[in-house]
Amino acid sequence: MVGQAEAASVSRIEVRGNRRVDADSVRGQLGIRPGQNFNQSDLDDAVKRLIATGLFADVSVRQSGSTLVVTVIENTIVNQVLFQGNKKIKDANLAQAVQLAPRSAFSREAMDADAEAIREAYRRIGRDDATVSASVQELEGGRVNVVYTVQEGDRTKIADINFEGNQAFSDRRLREVINTKESNILSWLSRNDVYDENRIRADEEALRRFYFNQGYADFRVLDASATLVDNKYTIVFTVDEGQRYTFSDVSIESSVPGLDISALNSSLKTRSGSTYRAKDVEASVIGLTERLAGSGYAFAEVTPRGNRDFENRTISVVYSVDEGVRAYIERIEIRGNNRTRDYVIRREFDVSEGDAFNQVMVSRAKRRLDALGFFQTINISTVPGSQPDQVVLVVDVVEQSTGEFSIGAGYSTGQTSSSGGGFSLEGSISERNFLGRGQAIRLSASGGKDSRDFMLSFTEPYFLGYRVAAGFDIYRNTRKVNNSNNDHIFDRETTGGTVRFGLPITEDLTAQFAYNYSQEKYEQVAADANLSSAVRQALEQGTWTRSSISTGLVYNTIDDTKNPRDGIYATASVEFAGLGGDAKYVKVTGRGNYYKTLSEDLDVVGLVTVGGGHVSAWGDEPLRIFDHFNSNDRIIRGFKYNGIGPFETVDGTNNRDYLGGKTYFHGTVEAQFPIPVLPESIGLRGAVFADAATLYGNDYTSNLVDGTGMKWRASVGASLIWASPFGPLRVDYAEPVVKEDTDRIQHWNFGISTRF
């Protein structure tokens, strides 16, 4: 209660009821000083300020003669927050979910809210029937311990995901579009079978994007319902597909004086006669906006207007260019980033404080932030600034874990290394947002019977504040090399490093530059081993150093790097060795992958791959045998590693040492498809393929060298592709259909699936 005091003053301020809070601290919050005139409004404000500190449950202020009496009842203070019964979620994670913390003010309302927050945390991991009870342990000195006791319950599962109203695409195809998956034997690893309302909303948006990009501009999600029976969910999406449209007329109109419309047509991604795709309209708006901004029209707004022709199933699009409202960005306010530094978020914006506000640029920044993978959710909103023509951008983020620890085992058939393959173990620690700076670091180690590999990698995506990726790799690889009889003949140890830079030219094209240094050490184990003269001569050179620079281009329009269905991923590089060291050569390589969905309904994806390379020595020394290209499963399947091309017969035996070639070309056609008998949530797909390749050219002179001519090999086969929780894995069976009698055949190949 606050007593009446009108235009009064007091000579002293007395504080009563305080035990932990110092009286001077209370006086400092009042805003009233002895000898100062005050009124009832000043007293009300003083009470509000004291309550706002969170230190007091109640405050009363009254005047007694020349004394202002402030009576306070202090809040109970939390000593400890304890969790009991929790196994699936660690104490540290639960502590982040609750409000109450040691040394904070206790309230029953906050404790009840925290209990609900813990239940929500368990719902997010699929334990909907978890119960949480909260209790208080009274301590001396007005302190309490808050104890949350958890009964975790059983984990809920998703038994079925069904669709109603879909005609153009099967349930199986639509289940691949959404992130929520049906439970299977591996769900405990991926955790994608947890029912979550926020995830369902995201799935609805994913369905809309999918249909809008397939021509269904009228698509709607009518309902998304979930039924829980016996701890298992059945989820049903009810959709209205509508008609499929193509673009008819595409044009630009402008109300901006002096604007040359014809100069803008090259920025359009939509073409008359092509299937309507929302992403093409969006890309056109972005392209036009950037073109206008670059031409001095910073406030120009591009608005697409679509006119449907229901009878002919076409949509005409007019991109309207108007003078937008002149607004400037007063400041960018970032909230929720407890770990990620502000500048890591700000640098994804192409606009900053003082620039013209442009919604298209803000939307692009949101997509870039999404692509980082640092945040669970990102919301960018605007609030009025201090002036009518000013706005404040508010970026709200919810962070997620970016560190990973993995350990696993694998088996290589030897197609990709000269060690002969075999079982191996691998472990790695990686962090994609190192120290909240947006940097990536990875430490890995692996080993098998005949191999040991160690690598440390670091990448700074914005070197010196520019959108230039810079990084380094340090590695050491050891191999025990066997001959065709599986006899151990020599050891190879390679230690090296790379300093690299990546410079984006456009959204799809990136230039790469690198300096590479490595040192190879060879030690022959079996002195009397049957070796060709070419290999023996290379071994006698002992330690070999390579110092080179390389440059290249990467063109990437792939729609989804984890599960590509459309787009091109192409690389081309040139390496010049000879900046010191022993190696002196120029090496040119290139590879292109073209993905195309052949049938959306059947979910059949086509892949065409072409590639090639050439290496030539410069200077007085010929090209070393170990610097030639070797065949592997990325060039052609159905043949052993280094099993085709030039070879030298070992003197006095029928054994052959394959020397590699100076030039290679290869091509692949492949069709990938779902396996009907298996649920798509397991991640298994099938493929059939045909490979062709040639490897030829070798300058080593010996009457025992053969196979240097350009002769093509070909194979056909089938594959199983598994998007496993441990990474993409693949099993291939290939049958050579065009081969030479001297080639080494290998039908089966199992290992990591390298798409690009």
Q: What average pLDDT score do residues 564-581 get?
A: 94
- Residue-wise pLDDT tens digits, 613-627: 999 999 888 888 889
CA nearest 132: which of 193, 102, 103, 89?
89
Q: Are 239 and 165 in contact (CB under 8 A)?
A: yes
pLDDT value at position 197? 82
- Residue-wise pLDDT tens digits, 410-446: 555 544 444 445 666 778 899 999 999 999 999 999 8
Q: Are 522 and 494 in contact (CB under 8 A)?
A: no
pLDDT value at position 3? 43
- The helix-helix angle for 197-212 and 278-294 (nearest 10°) equals 80
Residue 111 is which amino acid?
Answer: M
Distance CA 444, CA 446 (A): 7
Beta bridge partners of 705: 648
pLDDT value at position 209? 92
- Residue-wise pLDDT tens digits, 196-234: 888 899 899 999 999 999 999 999 999 999 998 888 889
Q: Is the pLDDT score of 590 beyond 50?
A: yes
pLDDT confidence band for 5 (50 / 70 / 90): very low
Residues near 620 by beta carbon (within 8 Å), at least 6 away in sequence? none
Residue 560 is which amino acid?
Answer: D
Top mean-pLDDT range of 10-19, 71-80, 159-168: 159-168
pLDDT value at position 410? 58
pLDDT value at position 187? 66
Does this model's pTM top 0.95? Answer: no
pLDDT value at position 422? 62
Q: Are 529 and 523 in contact (CB under 8 A)?
A: no
How many CB atoms neighbour CB 84 within 10 A?
11
- Residue-wise pLDDT tens digits, 396-408: 988 888 887 776 6
The terminus-to-terminus CA distance of the chain in angstroms comes to 73
Token pair belonging to 417: 């290394």
pLDDT value at position 694? 97
- Residue-wise pLDDT tens digits, 464-498: 888 899 999 999 999 887 766 667 778 889 999 99
Residue 454 is which amino acid?
Answer: F
Per the listing, tokens 């879909």 go with 166
CA nearest 30: which of 6, 4, 2?
2
Q: Is the pLDDT score of 527 beyond 80?
A: no
Q: Are 234 and 157 in contact (CB under 8 A)?
A: no
Q: Are 647 and 656 in contact (CB under 8 A)?
A: yes
- For each of the domains in the chain, give its residue range(s) and CATH number, in order of start: 12-74 (3.10.20.310), 77-151 (3.10.20.310), 157-240 (3.10.20.310), 246-323 (3.10.20.310), 328-399 (3.10.20.310), 462-752 (2.40.160.50)
DSSP three-state, residue 270:
coil
pLDDT value at position 46? 87
Q: Is the pLDDT score of 249 beyond 50?
A: yes
- Residue-wise pLDDT tens digits, 648-672: 887 666 778 888 999 999 999 999 9
Q: What average pLDDT score do residues 66-86 get?
A: 88
Give the chain's mean pLDDT.
Answer: 87
Among 118-122, 196-200, 207-211, 742-746, name the one with the lowest average pLDDT: 196-200
- Residue-wise pLDDT tens digits, 317-355: 999 998 888 889 999 999 988 899 999 999 999 888 888
Pairing of strands 12-16, 67-74: parallel
Beta bridge partners of 631: none
- Residue-wise pLDDT tens digits, 263-274: 888 888 899 999
pLDDT value at position 6? 57
Can you count the helices (H) and strands (E) in the chain? 11, 34
Token pair belonging to 317: 């699009």
Q: Is the pLDDT score of 20 beyond 80?
A: no
Distance CA 354, CA 358 (A): 12
pLDDT value at position 738? 96
Report DSSP state, residue 629.
B
pLDDT value at position 591? 98
Beta bridge partners of 504: 510
Beta bridge partners of 581: 546
DSSP letters of 103-147?
TSBP-HHHHHHHHHHHHHHHHTTT-TT-EEEEEEEE-TTSEEEEE
pLDDT confidence band for 185 (50 / 70 / 90): confident
Distance of CA 471 to the CA centre of its chain: 18
pLDDT value at position 511? 97
CA nearest 406: which of 374, 443, 459?
443
How many CB atoms neighbour CB 520 within 10 A?
20
Q: How many residues does the chain have?
A: 756
Q: Are 713 and 661 in contact (CB under 8 A)?
A: no
Distance CA 653, CA 658 (A): 14
CA nearest 344: which of 383, 397, 386?
397
pLDDT value at position 2? 42
Sign of the CA dihedral 371, 372, 377, 378? negative
Q: Are 118 and 98 in contact (CB under 8 A)?
A: yes
- The helix-helix angle for 23-30 and 40-52 (nearest 10°) equals 130
Q: Are 595 and 566 in contact (CB under 8 A)?
A: yes
Pairing of strands 157-164, 232-240: parallel
pLDDT value at position 52? 81
How many CB atoms neighbour CB 722 within 10 A?
17
Q: What average pLDDT score do residues 135-149 get?
A: 87
Distance CA 303, CA 289 (A): 10
DSSP three-state, residue 186:
coil
pLDDT value at position 752? 66
Distance CA 692, CA 755 (A): 17
- How much of the chain, in percent, has pLDDT values that exceed 70? 93
